[in-house]
Amino acid sequence: MTKRFLITLLAVALSVSATQGATSVESVGMTVNDMDRAVEFYSTLTFRKISDVEVLGEEFEHLEGVFGARMRIVRMQLGREYLDLTQYLAPPGRPIPVDSRSNDLWFQHIAIVVRDMDQAFDKLRALKVQFVSTGPQTLPPSIKAAAGIKAFYFRDPDQHNLEIIYFPPDKGDPRWQEFSRRMHQTATVIRQSRAAHLLAPGPAPPLSRCRSWSAPTRHRP
pLDDT per position as a tens digit, 21-60: 777 788 899 999 999 999 999 999 999 999 999 999 999 9
CB 158 within 8 A of CB 83: no
Domain ranges of the chain: 1-94+204-221, 95-198
DSSP code of residue 135: S
Q: For residue 175, what pLDDT is reported?
A: 73
Give the CA distances from residue 166 to residues 8, 57, 108, 172, in Å, rounded to whole numbers and listed in that order.
Answer: 33, 43, 19, 9
Q: For residue 178, what pLDDT is reported?
A: 65
Range 1-94+204-221 classified under CATH 3.30.70.60: no
CB 78 within 8 A of CB 164: no
- Going by their DSSP bridges, the two strands 181-190 and 193-198 should be labelled as antiparallel
The length of the chain, given as a count of residues: 221
DSSP code of residue 79: T
pLDDT per position as a tens digit, 99-123: 988 888 888 889 999 989 999 999 9
- Going by their DSSP bridges, the two strands 28-32 and 81-90 should be labelled as parallel
CB 11 within 8 A of CB 210: yes
Q: For residue 184, what pLDDT is reported?
A: 42
Cα–chain-centroid distance for residue 118?
23
Q: Is 167 exposed, middle or buried (0-12, 13-18, 19+ CB in 10 A)?
A: buried
Amino acid at 133: S
**Calpha distance 131→95 (Å, rounded):** 18
- Run means of pLDDT, 10 residues per run, the chain, 221 residues: 35 43 83 97 96 94 93 94 96 91 87 93 95 96 92 96 93 69 39 31 32 44 58
Q: For residue 171, what pLDDT is reported?
A: 86
Which CATH code for domain 95-198? 3.10.180
Strands of the sheet containing 48-56, edge to edge, are 2-12, 211-219, 48-56, 70-78, 81-90, 28-32
Residues paired with 161 in a beta bridge: 109, 155
Rg (CA), the chain: 18
